[in-house]
Amino acid sequence: MDLTRDEREVLDGSRGEIPRKLLLTMVRFGEAMDAERLVPVEGPGHLVIPESKPGVGARTEFLESLVDAGVRAALPFTADPATILNETLSDLTDDQRKRLARAYPTEVRYREALTKLGLRDAGGLTCTPWFEEVANRPSYGQIVAWAESSAVVYANSVIGARTHRNPGIIDLISNVVGKTPLAGLLTDEGRRASWLVEVEAAGPINGQVLGYIVGREVGDGIPWVSGLADMLEGGEHPASGKFLRDFGTNASVGGGVGLFHVEGVTVEAKRYGRRLIRDDARRLTIDEGQIESVGASLRADRPVEELRPNKVLLGCPHLTYDQLCAWTDAVEGELARAGRDRLAVETVFVAAPDVVSRFRAEHPGFATLAVAGGHVGSFCLEAFMQDPILAPACVVTNSNKLRYYSRNVYMLDDEALLRVMVTGGTEGAAAASTTGPSGTSSGSHA
């Protein structure tokens, strides 16, 4: 790699052993990517591991050694959702809380060290850092060092920023060093499409299912997707951003997609057109039959009332403010229609802390939701479901990402999911549909 004089001096130990090791790690990371050089990180970072659970993230002692060496990120960063330690789920027992405390033995120290290294504040703990309330949205073309698959693919594809699909710990080191390798998705050539995906479907399409199919087929390739511009109205439709978020999240889940282009919709596709498609791009056609078939294979194979769910989880990735409001209004309406005061199944909505604060302050339904047995939190549903101390027996969700990474029942139909919350399930609740709590589905554009 072509290193600057300053970088060579740091590698010679001019600023101490810790800075030398950190920069050496970035150099080795860059060499593995065949990077020509390191370039400055231009915007705030986002980290994927915010917790102290042994064997998952960076050791607390490692973070504290960085603090003791006086290193710090140049710009405050955000990180994925915090643990459930400070949440108040109604069915969390004293024994579970004690076991959780043992599972995260250095959580307080870990958070203190992360804060000293540059964590913005507790409001920055979310998997959706680009939301308006969180205010960590990079600008077009800006080089950042992000991790968290759904955040990376959204930043690259919808915003047009440039970041690697960084591994955990590398994301922290990159932001502390302030450098990232110039390779792959940071380069013009590395952002060209290696797949031409033609979608042939007349009606509304479930973004989660389509993204999952694309990811499964292209792996870590870069898809150029055609056939969606009219449905998404060139990216100007109010629901297009949500569709793109669902698509990107699941393309990353199904494969390893870190960037996609949608013809006539995403920012670089609109700016450069089909010049972004490589000459040797492979072709893939996806029709309505394939989308329906894969969707059917993902959802529950038995009626939900037979499964007797004991929890509904919504918000993987974290919900927007508008989604929180729509679900709350829908719950109120369905409770009234059913003549009930409380939800039959405990329901948990999760969103960024600052989104929850806004919801609590501005939406009158917050108190009603709490009285009805609904819970609004900011933890990570994926981590919750993967924790043997916490995972409930039967969970229903409308997130294919959560389905993929844990054991639960996936439902495409938000209206049926609403009935599960209120009544515990009704006949046909496992059937697919494109309607949702306010006439829009979490997975479709209309």
pLDDT digit string (tens) for 231-265? 998 776 667 889 999 999 999 999 999 999 999 99
Q: What is the pLDDT of residues 290-337, one digit of tens each?
A: 999 999 998 766 666 677 788 899 999 999 999 999 999 999 999 999
Of 165, 172, 284, the residue nearest 218 (C-alpha): 284
- What one-character DSSP code corresponds to residue 368? H
Determine the Cα–Cα distance for residues 443 and 205; give it in Å rounded to an integer: 8
pLDDT of residue 431: 34
Helix (H) or strand (E) holding 280: strand 277-287
Q: What is the pLDDT of residues 117-154, one digit of tens each?
A: 999 998 999 999 999 999 999 999 999 999 999 999 99
Asked if residue 22 lies in contact with residue 38, where contact means CB atoms within 8 angstroms, the answer is: no
Residue 187 — pLDDT band, cuts 50, 70, 90?
very high
Distance between alpha carbon 319 and the CA centroid of its chain, in Å?
Answer: 10
- What one-character DSSP code corresponds to residue 443? S
Residue 155 — pLDDT band, cuts 50, 70, 90?
very high
Asked if residue 81 lies in contact with residue 379, where contact means CB atoms within 8 angstroms, the answer is: yes
Of 138, 394, 401, 402, the residue nearest 253 (C-alpha): 401
Of 175, 187, 162, the residue nearest 26 (C-alpha): 175
Residue 44 has pLDDT above 90, yes or no: yes
Specify the pTM.
0.91
